[in-house]
Structures are given as structure tokens and as C-alpha cells.
Amino acid sequence: MIPDNAFIFNMIATPINQTLIKIKIPFKMIYFNTSLKKTDPDLIPRICLSDGGKIPVIGLGTFGSDSVEPETVAATIRKALLAGYRHIDCASVYGNEKNIGHILHEIFKSRIICRDDLWITSKLWNDKHNDVAESCRKSLSDLQVEYLDLYLVHWPFPNFHPPKCDVTTRNPNAKPYIHDNYMNTWRQMESLVENGLVKRIGTSNMTIPKLKLLLRDAKIKPAFNEMELHPHFQQPELFSYCLDNDIQPIAYCPLGSPGRPERDRTLEDTVDLEDQVIIEIAERYQVTPAQVAIKWAIQRGQIPIPFSVNHFYENIEAALKFTLSDRDMKDIVQIDKNCRLIKGQVFLWKDNQNWEDLWDIDGEIKQ
């Protein structure tokens, strides 16, 4: 009989253990469901960073696309960690860091995973550009950890939106990118590294013109840039610029974000996983189209962070299961449609603007 206050984990079944095993820790009995598949985390490749750190080549995103409840995201994190994930990508704006923190606390307390074996990223939300330390400490408290492996500036604008808003929502105090303001935020980010709260800092949703200014003025350079990357939106120029400047790309929407919020959907959007090239490659290797997209990302050199409640094991399995040929990689290059899915309309700062104004399409930062 499992007590009502028991904390239940999921683990892999083996011939020698029963459906449930238990471990005693102070004040609580933790039970482990042994029915899930598991990948040996030591087999997942890692990218060696210039500072000597190593990051797993695949992570688990934690954005529930405004439709997955925080408790469900946290439960998925628990299962994924026990299935072999050692990299989770969080953000304060996702509204689930406290739920995830409860899971991390129990896992660390039971010594199933050591904190130093887990890569944890979080992000500074747009309304906290002037309160970086406060926001970071809140994420640390919610996640119940003493440091972050990586802390990102989520967007280069201070413009924010309410949860679950629609595409017409605008912040009345919205502003364009102002480099002096961004550098004020970045100086605070640098202080986080100097004070030991985070090991690395980076950017997200940046462009080449903005990165050029940041690299020119930063004391601590960004180690990562998180950006939308998938077969139908490969961003070759920005991707190469990051690599050339020792900035490691992290790929959000690596599957083409089939579960993205309604505000991020337009009639012009294409569907990566329905592309005939992806389907044919998947059939040849007897894997899923999603696994092909993930493997392409890993072999290209970006770090995919897909979120899935039901397919997280298949996603991490793609890191080990097969290898795309040079021909496959070249064929996927040819299906780039320059189809940005997360256009960011809610961050625009003037009436009658086009979402392209956010992304410096012509190489100039719009004001």
C-alpha cells in the first residue's frame, strides 16, 4: 500500500526489481515506478565548451505552450530525468519553475542525480531587465538550486505580454531595442557570473546586428544564443555567425513547434514533420520524422530542446539511435523555407509595424 503522501518517481524496469521499489529518506518514503524506458545518460554526447564545461547535445524544454499545466510539465521533467535527460531549459515566464523545483529537490535529496551532473538553464524575462539579480535569485529559489549553468536574456526588448494573450496584444510601454539599455542589463548579467550565481550567460532571440554590438561592448561574452532553428527555418547566416564567434546555438522549436500557442500561428506557416524529404529519411532509417529533425540538429551542431509530454524518450533516443549520412544532411539543407514560426508580434512597439521589424531583416536595427 503506497501512502497518500508518498512521492512517486518513474524508473526503468529490470528483471530483478518489482513494479515499485522504495528508498527511505528523512521524513518521506519515495517510491519509484519501474515501467519507463531509460537511456544511460553517460552515453549522450556532450559538447565541450571553451571554459571546460560540457553540455548534453539534447535538452528538454519546459514551455508548455500555454496549454500544458505546470504540474504536468514538472511531472514530465521527473520522468525525463529518470529516463536519462541531463539538460533542462527553463524560464521564469513559463510559470512552472516552482513546480520543477519541487521535483529537483526530491531527486537531489534522494541522490538519484547529483546537481553537478545536471545542466539547468533559466532566462530573464522582459519585465526584469532592470532587476536582473532579483529575477535570477527568484529562479534559483523556485528551482531550489544554488547556481544555474546558464542564464539567458530571453528577448532583447523590455516589452512583455500577459500569459495566454492573443496576437493583437501590445505593451503600452513597449520600446525598440536600445543598445545602451541592453548593455545596462548585460552588465547586471555579468555580475551574476562574478558573484557565482550563474556559470555562464547568454542571449536569446538575437540578430547579427544586435550581437555585433554586444560582442563589441561586453566584458563577458555570451556563451550561448538560443534561437528558433528547425529544418524549415535554418537561419544559416546567424547560425554561422554564432559559431564563428564561439557562441553555441541552442535550438528552440526544433520540431517546428506543432504545439505552439495560437498567437504564433499564421496561414503561411509550413510543417517540417510533413515534409516529404523528412518523411523519406525517417522511413529509410525506420525512425520518426521528429527523430530525424532532432538528429539533423545535433549533427549540424545546434542543441535541440524539444518539449513533449509523451515522446520525450523517443526524442532523446534520437541522439543515439542512428546517424544521418552526408547526403541526408545536404538534402535537409535544401528544404529550408525561411519559415519563422515565433514571429513575436506581441513585442512590437509602434502601430502598423510588421513583425519583421523585430528581426533586423535588412541588417539594420529598427527604431
Query: Measured at the alpha carbon of residue 62, what is the angle toward residues 61 and 68, in degrees to the nearest 5?
Result: 130
Q: Report the chain's C-alpha Rg in angstroms.
A: 21
Report the b/e string of 141-172 with b at 16+ CB within 10 A.
ebbbbeebbbbbbbbbbbbbbeeeeebeebbe
Q: Give whole-number Cα distances, 280 to 210, 286, 288, 317, in Å.
A: 38, 10, 10, 19
Close Cβ partners of 210 (under 8 Å, ≥ 6 residues apart) = 156, 177, 179, 182, 203, 360, 365
Task: Please calculate the CA angle 243-208-210 and round it to the nearest 5 degrees.
Answer: 125
Q: Which residues are catalytic?
A: 94
Quickly count: other Cβ atoms within 10 Å of residue 219's Cβ.
Answer: 9
Q: Rounded distance, CA 96 to CA 93, Å?
A: 8
How many angstroms separate the CA atoms of 4 and 12, rounded?
23
Burial 188-204 (b: 16+ CB within 10 A, else e): bbbbbbeeebbbbbbbb
Closest by Cα among 191, 154, 182 to 62: 154
CA 138 to chain centre: 19
